Structure 1
């Protein structure tokens, strides 16, 4: 259930919770661990808020019984407690009531206690440190308990015993969580054993019989109980699933969750139980998947056992070869002979040089040593197989007709929107209203074309010998719309949804392109 809830956290929440493990990445992480152990020791005697002096005293008690416990001075201990409070593992409070003198009252008197998530982080680290490979197992006795709990759950729901419904459903949830954890740990450990038998074949052979018997007994119990568990799950649902979940939520005593949240939580827990044992439309259950994984593991153990037996029967394996080589090296007369023997055994004498041209050939002189020249990047293909990498045959062009049709549709809509904006500009003008984004885009394009096509007329005034350049009126057209920038001493302003466009010395006139053709014919 915890893994499911963790999937709903966003990146920021995940980052905040990872910050709780910062003390494991510091240089003196062992010291931080013993400081937290001291705070936890005080918490066990119901002393929730502790000061630095109390933690120091507890550290001395731990150091008397454990040689690994460090001795931390009071000043350094306060600094580490503050760092843990910064990471969120501890909460820090200022408690003036602990001051015994005026001087200590003036100084900061801080007390510390575990935060809820901080204690979970510390507990997770302790569980990891306390994990032992010898503890893993597949519990075959749990199936009878699950079958009994399902029968009692159906009877309690049928007779209306609310507390028994809550008690049995809670026990089933705990059993399912423990069963999933045990199976995951067992198969991970078994995979580790199968991977690292080269150095521990004696240990594997010593425990092979117990391992095979353990997995075989588990598979036998699973095959015997799985059909009965399937029927028991359906019998529980036949008594009324909604009533069952409602009664469990009613008896739930979690104060910080309302009834709707408790009902959703118990619904998720029941569906987790159902996924383990109840078959649905031919899909395998979690228990059946566990059985298949265990059968595969048995096959892997048997194959590994055959491999180890054959290697020991022949008398030569990797360990034997290394022992003989170590004896030969030890018996060599001098260091030179030992190095020569090791070089021949591991082929460390053969030179495997690899070189490619630098991108800038003139950067280094041909007479420079390779030791002084800069290195170049070498592809993995060239390094491993002595072949230059190639990109292979060009891949065929993928024709995504759906994307092309969508692109054409969007382009058509954009063109229709521009035509509608141009028609509004011609009919309503650009000055007496507020232009939207589409109208502003069309107007700016027309103004840009008009400004690019304008010309300057040069005249000489009577009062000045200089030549003065005046901008003539500019005209342009685009997609059937004609724009004229007519000279106006007062200028003009166009209001848009994003602001105002000022045209000093000009006024905008818009007309359809057909009006331009008619005007030219009249001039002729």
Structure 2
């Protein structure tokens, strides 16, 4: 539940993207996988430096000058006097920047004859660059739980209730915006802190000094945060309910009216603010059967304190006794090194790590073309192996031929199911001939009939001058025709909508001419 509410707070819509959109956006990070990715990063930093002074569209000379300015401050800026244009073009191909043609920048006839390209960040490209910069700038020591934020949230909720009660529209918008920003920051900080803490705890076996150095400050920090959360959580619950008593719908309408985002309609702004308010409410109020977001955070922090104390006890005992996993592995390595021969070393390592011999079996798949010859044994699907080679290692013989068995009951059942399926198809075809395929939602049986007839019609289509003119497909019940239609049509099914640009479907009985 905590993950769902965190996703609601930051307005993420990544789960709604299809595979094509995800692939396009992953393409924005192609520059990080190139051999000279550092050079591309400095090119984008130079463009970001120009963007900060409102130089939106820049050419290669502007980027080169910005790189020279950066080189005066940073020693690792590469020299890109020759390949700068090719790198900018590669970034444009990835979609991280836009490439435009601007002939007004040509001061001479020679420059005018050459391509005069200017570049500017795309919106998604700039976000991808900032995301990479955030990852590069992240530091473990920056992680913390903000315990002072609860008093600010309580003050904003009280002021929000007063503003909504008095009808102060601008103040409602300011307080809601501030609450949204504070909540996003708190969710981000808490998630970052617990991920960092888990990483520190899991890596203490190789570097316990880092954990032991900050153990006291870490325990005090988490204890103070939990105490502050326990003190403010009942007050925040009451404050949220006080705001709701002033009218949530009125609150959302006022916030949407004061919202000046030009690319959203009033209804979309109201929906956006409602989503934010519901996420904020879920953080501080409990629902039947669900823990609030703050309660989940308190439980996670309490578990983290217990894990830190347990790990501290484990490290203390290990230091007192002088035996831990690192010392055990060092002793084992010394024993293996001092063994008289390779067989003794292998036997010792097998006993230490409980290694046993494996019997390798192999065989061919029933459909050889289904499995790629480049697939590894780990990725390839398994096959059935007889018990004889598995138990003895010898190939099994063919054995005696088995008599052919006739299962009349199974045949009768199969025939009955075939008759039922065919009857259902005929009933669906008659329904299509009677009611048509447009203007309603087709069920699964009707959809299968339409798709089958449409496939036959496309296979028997007539193409004139490179364009499809007509086509028809039939079975023993109905006939489907592709009729040219300048408007086009669509067929609605339970699984979605199928669009037919330039055509409509005409379904008639095989012996009749009624339009479907």
Q: CA offsets per residue over residues 8-60 of structure 1, 9 Å max, x none?
A: 22222222211111111222111111110111111112211111122122222
Q: Secondary structure at the match of 1:216?
A: helix
Distance 2:291 2:179 in 1: 20
C-alpha deviation, 1:231, in angstroms: 0.6
Which residue in the other structure is 1:240 paired with? 247
C-alpha deviation, 1:324, in angstroms: 6.2
C-alpha deviation, 1:281, in angstroms: 2.8
Which residue in the other structure is 2:178 paired with? 171
CA contact (8 A) 1:356 1:378 kept: no
- Alignment equivalent of 2:129, drawn from 117, 122, 127: 122
Structure label with greater radius of gyration: 1
Which residue in the other structure is 2:476 paired with? 441
Distance 2:473 2:269 in 1: 52
CA contact (8 A) 1:418 1:438 kept: no
Which residue in the other structure is 2:261 paired with? 254
- 2:6 aligned with 1:6: no
Which residue in the other structure is 2:497 paired with? none
Distance 1:89 1:32 in 2: 11
CA contact (8 A) 2:97 2:125 kept: yes
Distance 2:475 2:173 in 1: 67
Do the aligned partners of residues 230 and 498 (structure 1) sit closer, same or farther apart at CA in structure 2, a change above 3 Å counting?
Answer: same
CA contact (8 A) 2:478 2:509 kept: no
C-alpha deviation, 1:319, in angstroms: 2.8
Which residue in the other structure is 2:230 paired with? 223
C-alpha deviation, 1:94, in angstroms: 1.0
Distance 1:497 1:250 in 2: 54
- Matches for 1:466-485 after TM superposition, within 5 Å: none
Which residue in the other structure is 2:396 paired with? none
Distance 2:253 2:478 in 1: 65
- 2:200 aligned with 1:193: yes
Distance 2:343 2:214 in 1: 41
Which residue in the other structure is 2:33 paired with? 25
Q: Secondary structure at the match of 1:7?
A: helix
Which sits farther off after the overlay, 27-36 or 336-345?
Answer: 336-345
Distance 2:321 2:343 in 1: 29
CA contact (8 A) 2:222 2:305 kept: yes
Do the aligned partners of residues 168 and 439 (structure 1) sit closer, same or farther apart at CA in structure 2, a change above 3 Å counting?
Answer: closer
Structure with greater contact order relative to length (CA < 8 Å, sep ≥ 6) = 2
Structure 2: 5+ residue stretches without partners: 1-8, 366-376, 392-415, 433-471, 480-506, 512-516
- Matches for 1:498-517 after TM superposition, within 5 Å: none
Distance 2:331 2:40 in 1: 46
Q: CA offsets per residue over residues 437-479 of structure 1, 9 Å max, x none?
A: 99951699xxxxxxxxxxxxxxxxxxxxxxxxxxxxxxxxxxx
C-alpha deviation, 1:203, in angstroms: 1.4
CA contact (8 A) 1:417 1:438 kept: no
Q: Secondary structure at the match of 1:65?
A: coil
Q: Secondary structure at the match of 1:441?
A: coil
Distance 2:248 2:357 in 1: 71
Distance 2:271 2:254 in 1: 13
CA contact (8 A) 2:476 2:510 kept: no
Distance 1:312 1:150 in 2: 50
Which residue in the other structure is 1:273 paired with? 280
C-alpha deviation, 1:414, in angstroms: 5.0
Which residue in the other structure is 1:454 paired with? none
TM-score (norm: length of structure 2): 0.68
Distance 1:18 1:2 in 2: 20
C-alpha deviation, 1:497, in angstroms: 5.0
Structure 1: 5+ residue stretches without partners: 361-374, 389-404, 422-436, 445-495, 501-524
- Matches for 1:6-405 after TM superposition, within 5 Å: 6-74=14-82, 76-321=83-328, 346=349, 352=357, 354-356=359-361
C-alpha deviation, 1:161, in angstroms: 1.1
